[in-house]
Amino acid sequence: MSQLEEQLHRRRTFAIISHPDAGKTTLTEKLLLFGGAIQLAGTVKGRKAARHATSDWMELEKQRGISVTSSVMQFPYHESIVNLLDTPGHGDFSEDTYRTLTAVDSALMVIDVAKGVEERTIKLMDVCRLRSTPILTFVNKLDREGRDAIEVLDEIENVLQIRCAPVTWPIGMGKRFKGVYDLRHDRTHLFSATHGGHIQSGEVIEGLNNPRMDELLGDQADELREELELVQGASHPLDLDDYLAGQQTPVFFGSAINNFGVKELLDAFVEYAPPPLARTTRERPVEPSEPKFSGFVFKIQANMDPAHRDRVAFLRVCSGSYKKGMKMRHVRIGKSVQVANAITFQADERRQVEEAWPGDIIGLHNHGTIQIGDTFTEGEDLKYEGVPYFAPELFRRVVLKDPLKTKALQKGVLQLCEEGATQVFRPLKNNDIILGAVGVLQFEVAAYRLKGEYGVEAVVEAVSVNTARWVECDDPKMLARFQEKAYENLALDGDDQLVYLAPTRVNLDLTQERWPEIRFLATREL
Ligand code: G4P
């Protein structure tokens, strides 16, 4: 095996999808703890700061700084090198969250056992489905009273439309929580709460029928045996091909805060989760084992401090390897650039890397020439696909304080748009500028940066747009007719693509029904 093959087979690049408060940060800490990346859990910075959307700009900047350092966390585990990509979740939920999911090879879904499937998880799951991303599930907070485990699995299957295969099964819950039974290895891990962030191991009992089970669990041993019979009859056996195809999710139970069930999860993760696979470019599929370097940019992070206007472009390596000082071709602008100082993000410390392999993320310093979706190669003209724009869910009209600044506003907004900070829509019927986003903080960031970087003072105000769809039709006449009839609701995006801005969901449904020949698209390739 070549060094490249060896390195790429070790890589596991993933992100956590969850609704706020399900336990993503806590679980991240514990995973890093197992990876030896941090000594004690509780040190993943910014968990409180990142909790609230805020208009305090110092605070905002702190948050952004923090999320740069914790954007990508790399740690070794057994034979693997794990790359965990952060998906901004609380106030800083944005299109970055969605696009990060286009750069991973698999995902880990965290569900709060008391809350079940929540709204944000549904959205993130929809994004995973675009690429049939394999998903492992961790049902968290078993140390608290929650819903029946079977009920939670039912909900996952019904709401998220993915089959569940339990790999571990909880014994009791809340005060009666005794541990998990590992269906793969026919053994039980007994629970004991931990304090602080130490790794600890409770007693392990081999075999479901081991008398030690009855001795320690009392009635709960028989309850478990009965429940397992029921579960195994009613649920799906683990099928790795189905998992890799995104059709089935292996499910684990535990308590992240008590570091319980996390090791089983991580062990299975490095075993089941796929290494980097071939990815499609507009020209041809690219195998990760191809010796020549290639990758794409999925996120650009701007520094909020006007004194340090550096932006970092996050590039996912797809083939070959990055070596410090190498030349790369920036395909869109047709230029070759020398990259001497790419950064990587190990746990919570920024450091320069000498090399990076498929599945790894590197940060390129960028002064505005790099856009989201850009491909870099070792010479070949390729364009990676699958880094789309997502239809925004929130809309605001930009109102200028100084009407003479219209030109500067347009320029600023278009650049923010290219960076993926926000999306812009210009209605056909008037000169409004409407911003679109998936998280409210995006509007604050846009207004702040317009002022700081383009000298434009603007405020954003509510506008009656509920959702947007890109519009396409093979028949130009039909499209022209639609354009005439739907004129009031049509706009152009930052790339002059036609977009339907629906005032309500009902309006969108009706319009779609009325115009069956028109395609209404919720994503658009960059
Ligand atoms: P998030 O990143 O998904 O938003 O969730 P986070 O890890 O911040 O966890 C949200 C809350 O849930 C935190 O409590 C955290 O301690 C708690 N939590 C996480 N895992 C478990 C678990 O296994 N069992 C129980 N009982 N609680 C859990 P908080 O009070 O909001 O914050 P903190 O004061 O603990 O930091």
Query: Could you say which DSSP state residue 232 is in?
Result: H
ipTM of model = 0.97
Residue whose tokens read 């509780």? 42
Q: Which of 17, 21, 66 for a ligand 1 pocket mutation test, highest count of atoms within 8 Å of Cβ?
A: 21
Question: What residue's CA is closest to ligand 1, atom 34?
Answer: 48
Rounded CA separation 297/325 (Å):
19
Tell me the CA–centroid distance for residue 256 and ligand 1, in Å.
8
20: annotated binding-site residue? yes
Which residue type, as a one-letter code, is found at position 403?
P
- Which residue has the CA at smallest separation from atom 26 of ligand 1? 141
Per cent of the chain over pLDDT 70 is 88
Q: What is the pLDDT of residue 20?
A: 93
pLDDT digits (tens, 9 = 90+) for 181-210: 999 999 999 987 665 555 556 789 999 999
Tokens matching residue 350: 């920024």
pLDDT at 403: 84
Under 8 Å between Cβ of 170 and 149: yes
| 498-502 vs 490-493, strand pairing mode | antiparallel
Q: Residue range 453-476: average pLDDT? A: 94
**Closest by alpha carbon to 182, among 228, 136, 139, 233?**
228
Q: Which residues pair with 344 in a beta bridge?
A: 351
The mean pLDDT value for 447-463 works out to 90
Spell out the residues 6+ positions from residue 413 whose beta carbon is closer than 8 angstroms to its own.
Answer: 398, 422, 424, 433, 435, 446, 450, 494
Could you report the per-residue pLDDT of 338-384, keeping only the tens digit for each?
987 887 665 444 455 678 999 999 989 887 789 899 999 999 999 99
How does strand 335-338 pair with strand 355-356? unpaired
User: How far is Cα 289 from Cα 205, in angstroms, rounded to an integer?
Assistant: 42
Global pTM reads: 0.90
Of ligand 1's listed atoms, the one at least distance from the Cα of 260 is 23
Closest residue by Cα to atom 14, ligand 1, is 21
Residue 338 CA to ligand 1 centre (angstroms)? 44
**Measuring from atom 4 of ligand 1, which residue has the nearest CA?**
21
86 appears as a binding residue in the annotation: yes
Residue 51 CA, closest ligand 1 atom number: 4
The residue with tokens 């317009």 is: 450
19 is in an annotated binding site: yes
Q: Is 185 annotated as a binding residue?
A: no
Atom of ligand 1 nearest to the CA of 19: 3
18 is in an annotated binding site: yes
Write down the pLDDT at residue 199.
52
Does the pLDDT at position 55 exceed 50? no
Question: Three-state DSSP class for 436?
Answer: strand
pLDDT in tens, 407-423: 899 889 988 888 888 99
User: Are residues 253 and 142 in contact, defined by beta-carbon separation less than 8 angstroms?
Assistant: yes
Q: Which atom of ligand 1 is nearest to the CA of 255?
A: 23
* pLDDT tens readout for residues 68-122: 456 788 888 999 999 999 888 777 788 889 999 999 999 999 999 999 999 999 9
For 38-49, what is each residue's pLDDT tens digit? 544 344 444 444
How far is residue 425's CA from residue 422's CA, in Å, rounded to a whole number? 10
The Cα–Cα gap between 435 and 416 comes to 10
CB 513 within 8 A of CB 476: no
The pLDDT assigned to 53 comes to 33
Distance CA 526, CA 95 (A): 13
CB 167 within 8 A of CB 252: yes
Report which ligand 1 atom has the smallest distance to the Cα of 18. 3
Does the pLDDT of residue 29 top 50, yes or no?
A: yes
Q: How far is CA 260 from CA 101, 135, 252, 407, 517, in A?
A: 26, 20, 11, 57, 53
b/e burial code for range 33-42 (CB count within 10 A of at least 16 → b): bbbebbeebe
Tell me the backbone φ, ψ of residue 418, rounded to 5 degrees: -60, -35
Any bridge partners for residue 251, and if so which? 137, 166
- Tell whether 90 is in a known binding site: yes
The mean pLDDT of the chain is: 88
Tell whether residue 140 is among the known ligand binding residues: yes
User: Model confidence over 504-514: pLDDT tens digits?
Assistant: 999 999 999 99
Query: Does 43 belong to an annotated binding site?
Result: no
pLDDT digits (tens, 9 = 90+) for 294-323: 999 999 887 655 566 678 899 999 999 999
User: What is the CA(66)–ligand 1 centre distance, in A?
Assistant: 19
For residue 427, the model assigns a pLDDT of 97
- Residue 92 CA, ligand 1 centroid: distance in Å: 18
Residues with CB under 6 A from ligand 1: 18, 20-26, 47, 89, 140-141, 143-144, 255-258
pLDDT computed for residue 66 by the predictor: 42
Cα–Cα distance measured from residue 297 to residue 311, given in angstroms and rounded to the nearest whole number: 13
Strands 434-437 and 394-400: antiparallel
Task: Give the residue whose CA is nearest to atom 16 of ligand 1.
Answer: 257
Amino acid of residue 280? T
| Calpha distance 154→158 (Å, rounded) | 6
